[in-house]
Chains A and B, each alone.
Chain A
Amino acid sequence: MKADDVVITAEDLRVWYGTAGDPVRAVDGVGFELRAGEILGLVGESGCGKSTLGRGLLGLLPDGAARDGRLFFRDRDMLRLKRREQHALRGRELGLIFQEPLTRLDPLMRISDHFAETLKTHHRGISKDEIESRSLEALRVMGIPPTRFRAYPHEFSGGMRQRLMIALTLVLRPSFVVADEPTTALDVLVEAQIIRMLHDLRDTYETALLLITHNLGIIAEACDRVAVMYAGRIVEIGDAKTVFRSPQHPYTRELLRSTISLSTTGLNYIEGAPPDLSDPPPGCRFHPRCPDAMRVCERRAPEPKQMPNGSRVECWAADLTHGLVQLTEDDRIPLAKEVIAVADEA
């Protein structure tokens, strides 16, 4: 496997949910590439479409949801594959790590049975010895001693169960894994242990990982690149260190400012809440909350553009700063702010 091997390609990917009223466009035109051994962090507030994007990439959407656009796994067109062919890819090639490890393990099955079931489902006729050696290897990578192979789920602590879940995903050696808030329910020390393990996976398995989280600290520490999602769109994507050092989109900047960290000296927050995705605001979707909004922002949606620092950003203000667009004087007039009530918030 080459290191520059592109595993996932999404172009203008859209996912929407049918409702009684207007459809909810949870993912509305998203494009990115993910390479083998790369970790892409996906951040944003709740309700911005992060989890829907993660599930949409794997084809794990509920009834009543639809997806469109272009989505490739290696050279396979995922949106044209038959249901059965897609199903066959999941597990072996596409993996998912859930948020709640406690509810995903069968309390009546030993850990060894969980592994045997997983491996037998995806590799018919696999030998007993191979099941054991592959399982123990996956457990070892996740730091679980071989002495615990025949234990039951209740004999493990919360952090161990989450590591078990990750081991159960990895034992099939998938090329692409979505981890949806894998450490949210865990304590800070255990979270740090698991983030370290996910970070080290690239060396062992060369897995391409999409790490969904609302914790910007985790992204800074563990990810190569970061995508910031707002109201169904990726508004900024780039090298993680670059984005944290010089965020180009006002949403990224404000999100970083509102994070409470050890170096916090004053409390900051973003006014308002993410919009209703069945009826998003016209133009740039962030303009009602944006401190830098201009008149153009409510008139026309900005196009994604490459910034001088390498990030791809959708923002008129950033375009203007770097001389990437010509705007009329009228377009550049700062937008009169509608008064946002104190409690209009996420």
Chain B
Amino acid sequence: MPTKPEPSVRTATDAVVEAHDLEVHFALQGSALARLLGRSGRTVKAIDGVNVALRRGEVLGLVGESGSGKTTLGRALLGLVPSTAGSITYHGRERGDVVVSELGGRDLRALRTSMQMVFQDPGAALNPGMTIEEAIGHPLVIHRKLKGAELRARVCEALERVGLAPVERYLSKYPADLSGGQKQRAVIARAIILEPEVIIADEPVSMLDMSVRAKILQLMLDLKEQLDLSYVYITHDLASAKYICDRIAIMYLGRIVEIGPTEEIFANPRHPYTKALLKAIPEPDPDRMVPRDLPRGEIPDAAVPPLGCSFHPRCPQAVEECGWESRDLRTLLEEHWTRNPGTTYDAERDMVGDLDKLDKPELVAHVGTKDGKGTLALLNRIRAEKPEEPFWRGVAGLEEDGNGVRIEFREPTDPALRPEGGVEVACVLYGDERERPSS
């Protein structure tokens, strides 16, 4: 059973796992013809250049929506998904430095004694045909550490540590006999039985009832103190991250857009995406109303991410150089037709023509089929309808062109993470090179 090790001689700030310029790209299968011709298909950039370090003894939160890459990053840190570029290094207390991204097979398996994972769905993470005793002791069997009475004693200790006591009540139970919270305790017991240094917890409480979430989080915090663990806590729920994490990394479409100490992120959120996430959390506060000024739309397709900053199509604070392009024009037109009655769409659709040709990201777009003047007038009407729309800031030129209108967008800037008042943030509004906005 894990026991508290001697206090580490290293300071609390040094890294136990580090990702350096990490990329995880998945190749999509192209069409049959493309494959015959040897053309490569598109790639999904699940992780697109991430630098992050988990410090010894801390809880690092990876927060974002589905599709932000938080789960892929967590799995990559364990070597569960292969990285396509960059490196992951584990600085082991006993093992020394190990480059996880270069390991394979047996070596990678050996790493599991140091780094473990707690999964989101405890129902799916436990084999329904194994008793709790078998499931929790299984890692020790796989790694040929213990057997017989010793094995059983260790399993009992682990069960007690996670609160599944008296152990006799649980040893011979099957996962189906346990409640959601109890199953997650068993999954945590299985994760700590090899005495790991690092646990990656992927949404460990999101499938559980409200009434037990706090209990499981408390258990995780207790175990961290008792066993000197470091956690990566992956979640979409900023409220629980606020409670449990020391530092938080906000992720969007494969990148970290803001990272810093928890208090600073919450007291002073900088990235417009962080601000939006905070505003969207439903709070059980009787004086709160439904929030109305939230970003529109959803997280975009990672195979063809937006130009410039990935968040710009949804961003209420977007400026000129955020990466406006043809697809944003399509969204603008569709939103206009959604706002207005059906007759507007019927009257105007022919003035614009086929919207599908706007789907390829371009800095110059052309719309309209017959009457350039009419199309230009339509676009100006849409602009007058909602002049505060950030889209128009990105338009560099708008002119009649033959039977339609030619729209030119400004050159995009892809913001990198830059230090700003104790955190790092990837947004053109922040950073040393640019003056702070007056607002």
Listed in ascending order, the chain A residues whose CB lies under 8 Å from chain B are 45-46, 133, 136-137, 140, 143-148, 157-160, 187-193, 195-196, 199, 214-222, 240-242, 244-245, 254-256, 258-264, 267-270, 273, 341-343, 345-346
Does the CB pair B280–A191 fall under 8 Å? yes
Does the CB pair A145–B334 fall under 8 Å? yes
Residues from chain A with a CB closer than 8 A to the CB of B279 are: 192
Tell me the bound Cα distance from A346 to B207 in angstroms: 11
Tell me the bound Cα distance from A221 to B343 in angstroms: 34
Does the CB pair A258–B214 fall under 8 Å? yes
Tell me the bound Cα distance from A234 to B164 in angstroms: 32
Tell me the bound Cα distance from A220 to B65 in angstroms: 23
Tell me the bound Cα distance from A158 to B181 in angstroms: 28
The 7 closest A-B pairs by CB, nearest first: A217-B282, A145-B334, A342-B163, A267-B214, A187-B65, A244-B286, A241-B286
Given A255-B210, A258-B214, verify A189-B342 contact (CB < 8 Å): no
Within B46-69, the residues touching A (CB, 8 Å) are 65-66
Residues from chain A with a CB closer than 8 A to the CB of B214 are: 258, 260, 267-269
Tell me the bound Cα distance from A264 to B280 in angstroms: 16
Does the CB pair B213–A221 fall under 8 Å? no
- Per DSSP, chain A at the interface is helix
Given A214-B209, A220-B284, A241-B286, verify A345-B181 contact (CB < 8 Å): yes
Q: B236 contacts which of A188, A215, A242, A346 (Cβ < 8 Å)? A: A188
0/1 per residue, B250-281, Cβ < 8 Å to A?
00000000000000001000000000111111
Residues from chain A with a CB closer than 8 A to the CB of B294 are: 189, 192-193, 196
Given A146-B337, A196-B292, A260-B213, verify A220-B280 contact (CB < 8 Å): no
Does the CB pair A262–B284 fall under 8 Å? no
Does the CB pair A137–B342 fall under 8 Å? yes
Residues from chain A with a CB closer than 8 A to the CB of B65 are: 187-190
Within B176-235, the residues touching A (CB, 8 Å) are 179-182, 185, 208-215, 217-218
Residues from chain A with a CB closer than 8 A to the CB of B355 are: 147
Does the CB pair B243–A260 fall under 8 Å? yes
Q: B282 contacts which of A143, A144, A146, A220 (Cβ < 8 Å)? A: A220
Residues from chain B with a CB closer than 8 A to the CB of A215 are: 210, 282
Within B282-300, the residues touching A (CB, 8 Å) are 282-292, 294-296, 298-299
Tell me the bound Cα distance from A221 to B286 in angstroms: 8
Check: B21 CB closer than 8 A to any chain A CB.
no
Listed in ascending order, the chain B residues whose CB lies under 8 Å from chain A are 65-66, 162-166, 169-170, 179-182, 185, 208-215, 217-218, 236-240, 242-243, 266, 276-292, 294-296, 298-299, 333-335, 337-338, 341-342, 345, 349, 355
Q: A267 contacts which of B217, B276, B288, B337 (Cβ < 8 Å)? A: B217
Q: Could you tell me the distance in whole angstroms from the C-beta of A188 to the nearest C-beta in chain B?
A: 5
Tell me the bound Cα distance from A219 to B215 in angstroms: 23
Does the CB pair A216–B215 fall under 8 Å? no
Chain B residue, CB-CB nearest to A262: B239
Chain B residue, CB-CB nearest to A185: B66
Does the CB pair A262–B295 fall under 8 Å? no
Does the CB pair A196–B345 fall under 8 Å? no
Q: Could you tell me the distance in whole angstroms from the C-beta of B159 to the nearest C-beta in chain A?
A: 9
Residues from chain A with a CB closer than 8 A to the CB of B338 are: 140, 143-146
Tell me the bound Cα distance from A241 to B287 in angstroms: 7
Chain A residue, CB-CB nearest to B243: A264
Tell me the bound Cα distance from A255 to B292 in angstroms: 27
Interface centre among B179, B236, B278, B296 (most CB of A within 10 A): B179
Residues from chain B with a CB closer than 8 A to the CB of A341 are: 163, 165-166, 169
Chain A residue, CB-CB nearest to B339: A140
Does the CB pair A189–B277 fall under 8 Å? yes
A sample of 30 cross-chain residue pairs with beta-carbon separation below 8 angstroms, ordered by A number, consists of A136-B342, A136-B345, A140-B342, A147-B345, A187-B298, A188-B237, A188-B277, A189-B294, A192-B279, A192-B294, A214-B210, A215-B210, A216-B282, A217-B283, A217-B285, A220-B284, A220-B288, A258-B210, A258-B211, A262-B242, A263-B283, A267-B214, A267-B217, A269-B211, A342-B165, A343-B164, A343-B170, A343-B181, A345-B182, A346-B181
Interface centre among A46, A157, A187, A245 (most CB of B within 10 A): A187
Tell me the bound Cα distance from A195 to B288 in angstroms: 13
Residues from chain B with a CB closer than 8 A to the CB of A193 are: 294, 296
Chain B residue, CB-CB nearest to A198: B290
Residues from chain B with a CB closer than 8 A to the CB of A192 are: 279-280, 282, 290-291, 294
Does the CB pair A217–B284 fall under 8 Å? yes
Tell me the bound Cα distance from A262 to B283 in angstroms: 7
Does the CB pair B66–A187 fall under 8 Å? yes
Q: Could you tell me the distance in whole angstroms from the C-beta of B372 to the nearest C-beta in chain A?
A: 21
